[in-house]
Amino acid sequence: RQDVRPGLPMVRRVKEALQKEEKQKEANEKNRQKSIKEEEKERRDLVLKSALGNENKGFALLQKMGYKSGQALGKSGEGIVEPIPLNIKTGLSGLGHEELKKRKAEEKLESYRQKLHMKKQANEQAADQFRIRFKTKQEERKMEGDLRKSQRACQQLDMQKDIDVPKETWFWIEPEEEDKKDEEDKEDECTSSDLSVSEKLHILTAYLREEHFYCIWCGTTYEDSEDLSSNCPGDSAADHD
């Protein structure tokens, strides 16, 4: 009975062709004549693998001086046991070429390592700078919030003392004005002050403590300067922390 399943005859023919090709390759390899270099290498390996015999003059002299096969060289036996290996140069490159290639490869590897190290340092510096900027920004936002808090407290306390005009224009939080001209005047005042947020906060908190005996971080109005100095921890957020 013939196998009539689809695809099987084609697979069988492919397998037979591959097997025939492998057998042909093996036959060609067996019948192929070895080159002079291959024959020299086989003869050399065969000689190097075999131990020296008594017919070798150097080995015979060693035996006369008391050397025995398998012993280490030297008067006290501290020398080598195996012969120095033979390295045959088969390439066409000049002497020192392999050392030059090795040195160039090591230099290339060292350069690559240095680039990786510099890249790692740059990434670490960028991360540190980002953290510093982020922390600085947070501190600035906190100081801006403390300044607005101090301005509101100053305006309220001044009004309680019937003070209609602040000592400095930025001591109070000015309401938003719709008039464009007023907004431009306000911008001019802000640019002319030349004071940073931290400087404004320091000046305003000092004014609140001296004029109203008030501490924005305690949120307390003290009776007098003596009560303020004895009960308030300090004149900054760090002192209260």
pLDDT along the chain (241 residues), means of 10: 56 82 83 77 80 80 81 79 74 78 92 93 90 89 89 88 85 63 51 73 87 83 80 68 63
Contacts of 183 (CB under 8 A, 6+ apart): 177
Structure tokens at 147: 């300044």
Angle at the Cα of 57 from the Cα atoms of 59 and 66, rounded to 5 degrees: 40
Residue with tokens 């006290």: 76
Whole-number pLDDT of residue 118? 93
Whole-number pLDDT of residue 240? 65
Indicate if the alpha-carbon torsion angle 223, 213, 186, 189 is positive or negative.
positive
Residue with tokens 């067996």: 30
Residue 53 CB coordination number (10 Å): 8
User: What is the spatial distance between Cα 241 and Cα 229, in angstroms, rounded to a whole number?
Assistant: 17
Residue 31 CB coordination number (10 Å): 7
Residues 163-175 as b/e (b if ≥16 CB within 10 A, e otherwise) read: eeebeeebbbeee
Contacts of 102 (CB under 8 A, 6+ apart): none
Q: Give the N- to C-terminal CA distance of the chain in Å, as an integer.
A: 99
User: What is the spatial distance between Cα 105 and Cα 113, in angstroms, rounded to a whole number?
Assistant: 12
Whole-number pLDDT of residue 112? 94
Residue with tokens 């025995």: 68
- Does pTM top 0.75 for this prediction? no
Helix (H, G, I), strand (E, B) or coil at 220: strand
